[in-house]
Structure 1
Amino acid sequence: MEAKVFKISGVATAAALSLAFLAGVAEAGEKIKVKDITGREVEVSVPVERVILGEGRQIYFTGALDTEAPFKRVVGWRDDFQKADLDGYNIYLKKFPEMARIPTFGGMKDGTFDIEQAVTLKPDVIIMNIDAKSATEESGYIEKLSKVGIPLVYVDFREKSLENTDPSMRLIGKLFGKEQKAEEFVKFHDAQIARVTDVIAKTKDLKKPVVFMERAGGYSDDCCMSFGSENFGKMVELAGGVNLAAKIIPGTFGTVNPEQIIASNPDQVIVTGANWELYVPGGAWVGVGPGADKALARKKLAALMKRPAFTDIKAVKDGDVHAIWHQFYNNPYQFVAIQQIAKWLHPDLFKDLDPEATFQELHQRFLPVDYHSGYFVSLKDDT
């Protein structure tokens, strides 16, 4: 990957910006050292009052802690929320129209983050997803930010999401001065996963179906993106399934060729999707998500199963084909996905489990917007 740099002109500019930044900062709270998800020790004044979100979808965790006013600390954010989750974006926008006025940034991974703009916003911290770490290090972003007095911390809800969600939420809770709220969320998160994993662990001679997880099916003409042993791949395993791609994809994300899918003949297929109209207008993607048109999503899901990799496999013949909201792969609500996958894989074992009710409870207890159904569909559903 070619290293890219911030739009900043020379050492003199950096020094001037540093002085401007420091002059504009009032006496903050307590200065503490925190360890981010990579183990880096970072000095931050807490509670932070001005935050730049390295990804717009980080509002998923911001909203879980600052429930009454999820944007009160956000002085800038990446421009991905609307594009990646249009339905969710519009729900937040209707209740919090002020979010449309928050300055947006490009990404550090593509080198379009503007450090001069960031400095003018006087952030107390930048929260960055771990998948941007390599690009950040290659381009010297940490050093450039340090020169102008801006700390950066990494969180992770994507690469090793089941392992890093709890420590990431605790870190954000410490930054926000919301440690108790973060602990309440972590307790709820873990208890909801245990409702699946405890049952799986106690069930003797459990027959585990082979599952093919297709990442963003229909987003492009390529077939077929999937997950290795982490992210949705890990969710499948926790839900009592065998992830087809676990031994094929060495990392978190990768591709499985159509011939391998046919040869593996999976028992179940789960496709991730969302409303990606702003990314791929009129695309074949399955638009599940908050308030989705389930009939249309089901129709598009059925159409995807007409591709050569799927037409003759067991899952399609039996109707065990499902779609689930893609953004579960990048937020702290994965427990809802685990419950729904478990219900698909083992309907008799989890007949009393209601993932919709779990997601509703999450919204009622922690989130600033109302729940809207539409996050999952199945070809076995009634029309």
Structure 2
Amino acid sequence: MSARPSRRAVMLGALAAPALIRPARAQEVSATDVLGRKVTLPAPARRIVLGQGRQINALGLIHPDPVSILAGWGSDYRRQSPDTFARYRQRFPAIETLPFVGDGATAGGFSFEQALALAPDLMVLSRSLAGTRNGPGDLVERFEAAGIPVAVIDFFLDPLKDTLPSLTLLGSLTGREEQTQRLLAFYEGRMRGVAARIAGAPAPGVFIHAHAGGAECCMSPGRGTLDDFITAAGGRNIASGLLPGATGQISLEQLIVSDPQVYVATGGTHMAKQGGLVLGLGVDRATAEESFRRLLARPGIATLKAVSERRAYGLWHLFNDTPLHVVAIERLAKWLHPERFADIDPAATMAEAAAFSAIPLDGTLWIEA
């Protein structure tokens, strides 16, 4: 029969127990943003403010409930991405109560005071909101002076350069490194695959008609943004020599004279009220096809050789500010070089990408003439 422990031993054991079950101290996290700035937090961020609401597109690929770690965001997302916002609202109803910090589309529409009042543990800005492409802008300095850490990420102005560091930073600062590394492996593998297949191929002239079917023709990418997607897919953007900035207006007459080998329209649910090209999450095939037929029948566009020879396509515009652009690039590459991508199925690639997403990604995201 064993001896009973002394009263002193029992008391010592009781005193020691809390030390054994005390939670481990939060681990410091750090990463480098797209401006080359090192960002360090005492623990993974749990009160993030997104200067542009659309940055949830990336956060939702590495976190199963991105809304749970947000303290506020820009209102641009609800306006520009109604189909995607609806999916988030259905799965995460708390998104309706997130405070706004201004529109977020431009620095003038962003409210420093509203963001500061939310006491974030991390402020996330895009390059455009940060104020410069080469160094910290005024907003960065103001937040840091107030003791708020700032991370600058971007998937729009220079997506092929900034996507990897932006995802790496978000993964590190939110403690989601494992899923982020899997996503990066998927992204880089698909991008390498496209690059290998288009090597040495002639680059057909491509015109991207952005937000197609609106009142005015024709908005198109100049340099960066969708222009990078065309180049990565093995094409040549005919508007890049006509537009000095990231986007601009090309007249219908210029489009007709340019006579592109390939015509690609972009659209979304935001174009429905304007009678434009409707693509996106939850959009059925019949709706997309009817909107595409109307677009291709418009005066001027109907005369393009690319349309008559069935080299006209439609692509979801919201591929343009998310790491999911890897799927759009593969889809473009198959349109531009069908013989080199005969065994590639972009729909299967989209399904693989959707496995990372916090929301369902089903719908009509591209269409062919």
Q: How high is the TM-score relative to the length of structure 1? A: 0.82
1:133/1:140 CA distance change after superposition, 3 Å = closer
For the Cα contact (< 8 Å) 2:30–2:173, is it kept in 1? no
Matched, 1:320 2:282: no
Deviation at 1:246, TM superposition (A): 2.3
Three-state SS of the structure 1 residue aligned to 2:142 is helix
Three-state SS of the structure 2 residue aligned to 1:303 is helix
User: In structure 2, how many angstroms separate the alpha carbons of the residues matched to 1:360 and 1:374?
Assistant: 13
Q: Counterpart of 1:285?
A: 276
Deviation at 1:111, TM superposition (A): 3.0
Q: Counterpart of 1:87?
A: 83
Match of 1:106 among 102, 109, 125: 102
Match of 1:372 among 356, 362, 365: 362
Q: Counterpart of 2:158?
A: 160
Alignment of 1:172-211 (within 5 A): 172-201=170-199, 204=200, 206-211=201-206
Letter in 1 for 2:70: V
Deviation at 1:173, TM superposition (A): 1.4
Q: Counterpart of 1:124?
A: 121
Three-state SS of the structure 1 residue aligned to 2:41 is strand
The size of the alignment, in residue pairs, is: 343
For the Cα contact (< 8 Å) 2:51–2:125, is it kept in 1? yes
> Deviations for 1:43-74, whole angstroms, at most 9, x for unmatched residues?
4333111100112221111111112x221211
Q: Max radius of gyration: which structure?
A: 2
Three-state SS of the structure 2 residue aligned to 1:105 is coil
Q: Counterpart of 1:339?
A: 330
Q: Counterpart of 1:240?
A: 234
For the Cα contact (< 8 Å) 2:107–2:129, is it kept in 1? no
User: In structure 1, how many angstroms separate the alpha carbons of the residues matched to 2:290 and 2:120?
Assistant: 45
User: In structure 2, how many angstroms separate the alpha carbons of the residues matched to 1:43 and 1:311?
Assistant: 54
User: In structure 2, how many angstroms separate the alpha carbons of the residues matched to 1:218 and 1:45?
Assistant: 49
Q: Structure 2 regions of 5+ residues with no counterpart?
A: 1-24
Letter in 2 for 1:168: S
How much identity, in percent, do the aligned residues show? 31
> Deviations for 1:309-350, whole angstroms, at most 9, x for unmatched residues?
423221111122111111111011111001111122222321
Q: Counterpart of 2:350?
A: 359
Three-state SS of the structure 2 residue aligned to 1:324 is strand
Q: Counterpart of 2:291?
A: 300
Three-state SS of the structure 2 residue aligned to 1:49 is coil
For the Cα contact (< 8 Å) 1:34–1:44, is it kept in 2? no
Q: How high is the TM-score relative to the length of structure 2? A: 0.85
RMSD value, Cα: 2.4
Spell out structure 1 runs of 4+ moving beyond 6 A. 135-139
1:311/1:128 CA distance change after superposition, 3 Å = same
Matched, 1:51 2:42: no
1:359/1:138 CA distance change after superposition, 3 Å = closer
